[in-house]
Structure 1
Amino acid sequence: MVSVIIETKNVEEALARTLAGLVNAAVEGLVRDVIVVDHGSTDHTHEVADAAGCIFVEGEALRDVVKRARGEWFLFLEPGSRLLDGWSESARNHIEALPGPARFTRSSFNRPRFLARVFGGNDPLSDGLLMSRRQAVALLKPGYGAQDLARGIATRRLKGEIVPANRA
């Protein structure tokens, strides 16, 4: 149902934290595959992805990866972000009811203060991005990465919570 796509470069520990939060959803059948798109790591990122049963691709364009993925929906995550309990139910409800893209809600313990939210720079993938295959293929241009795809796209907010990578 959902293909998780994570772009990496030298983030073995962060990747392990993110993958740990996907296990229950894989057992439930929500996550069909996890694809780690690596951009030249020199650490043990490949071994972490391999040990977790992920598909590991090096230097491939995100557009090509999306076309090969098995899921009808994609969940783009940053390495280091952690999805909290209940995220899979929230994602499943969204997929079944609403066709548009969505992001997760930041955990209340990790929400930045008001002024930081207003004036701070925001990483477009910090809350994850859930979107259909059709939307991803239509929006991905040659040379685009997940950050480019997530930038400026209107999304719904899911009840499921996430701890962003920079706060994990």
Structure 2
Amino acid sequence: MLTVLIETRNDEEALARTLASLVGAAVEGIVRDVIVCDSGSTDQTHRVAEHAGCHYVTEGVAAGIRQAKGEWLLMLEPGARLADGWTESVIDHVSRQSMPARFSRARGERRALFTRMFSGQSALAEGLVIRKGQAVALSKSAASAEAVARGLASRRLEAEIRVAEPRRK
């Protein structure tokens, strides 16, 4: 049903946290496959992906999107963790809607509108559920998962996400 796509670069610990939040959905058959699109990691990111049974690609996010087996993609940042019960909200959305959707921030992480507008947050901070066909079309002119998600109109899911910590430069 869903392919999870995670773009990484030296994110071994963050990737492990994200993958742990997907285990239940994989066991239930909701997550069909996980693709880790790596952009030059020098740490053990590839080992984390391999041990978890993920597909590991280094050809960019467009290649990862094309390899996806699911009709819908769930794009996440490494380190993001989905709250229990997220699968029901996603299943409901994909059965009724065709437009993209994003998760709601966990209650303790919600920020005021003014703060959100000027924070420069990642377009993937709240994840993205998107049809594969739309993602393929957007990835033709986008060099990253962030660029695919940027500026995209979306619905808000009831399910919550704990956003990834900001990356250190």
- The number of aligned residues is 166
Moved over 4 A (4+): none
Q: Any conservation in 2 of the 1:77–1:128 contact (CA below 8 Å)?
A: yes
Q: Distance in 2 between matches of 1:156 and 1:102?
A: 4
Using the TM superposition, give the Cα deviation of residue 119 of structure 1 relative to its aligned residue in structure 2, in angstroms: 2.6
Q: Distance in 1 between matches of 2:98 and 2:105?
A: 22
**TM alignment of 1:11-160, pairs within 5 A:** 11-58=11-58, 60-160=59-159
Gaps of 5+ in 2: none
SS in 2 for 1:159: strand
Q: Any conservation in 2 of the 1:63–1:142 contact (CA below 8 Å)?
A: no
SS in 1 for 2:87: helix
SS in 1 for 2:165: helix
- One-letter code aligned to 2:19: L
Gaps of 5+ in 1: none
Superposition RMSD on alpha carbons, in Å?
1.3
Q: Any conservation in 1 of the 2:38–2:60 contact (CA below 8 Å)?
A: no
- The Cα offsets for residues 69-97 of structure 1, whole Å up to 9 and x where unpaired, read as 11110011000000000111110110111
Using the TM superposition, give the Cα deviation of residue 116 of structure 1 relative to its aligned residue in structure 2, in angstroms: 2.2
Using the TM superposition, give the Cα deviation of residue 152 of structure 1 relative to its aligned residue in structure 2, in angstroms: 0.3
- The Cα offsets for residues 102-158 of structure 1, whole Å up to 9 and x where unpaired, read as 000000011134542243222100000000111111222245211001100000000
Q: Distance in 2 between matches of 1:117 and 1:110?
A: 11
- The Cα offsets for residues 21-77 of structure 1, whole Å up to 9 and x where unpaired, read as 00011111110000001111111111111111111112x132222112111100110
- One-letter code aligned to 2:55: I
Sequence identity, in percent?
53
TM-score, scaled relative to structure 1: 0.94
